[in-house]
Amino acid sequence: MVTKEATVKSSTGLHARPATLLVKKASSFKSDVSLEYNGKKANIKSLIGVLSLGVTSNAVVKVTASGDDETLAAEEVAKLIESITE
């Protein structure tokens, strides 16, 4: 299991469009990938799960990946979270 922290830089947090990008990115990996925020955890491969966390701007989230490509999955998803700025 690999865990990475990322800061949400988008001024609107992880709303529908960035959440959709995250789901697409996470779904490209074999590993189970989850997002943790405010004590709640959701599967990043589930759009409803990501949106249900209500991640706000400047929030620090934890990305956890477990599986064959866990290191790459955690790094790529964390990098994507930090790159979304609108």
Catalytic residue positions, numbered: 15
As a residue count, the chain comes to 86
Count of alpha carbons within 13 angstroms of residue 30, beta-carbon side: 4
Hey, what are 3's tokens? 């865990």
Residue 68 contacts residue 48 (beta carbons within 8 Å): no
Strands of 32-37's sheet in order across = 2-7, 60-66, 32-37, 40-43
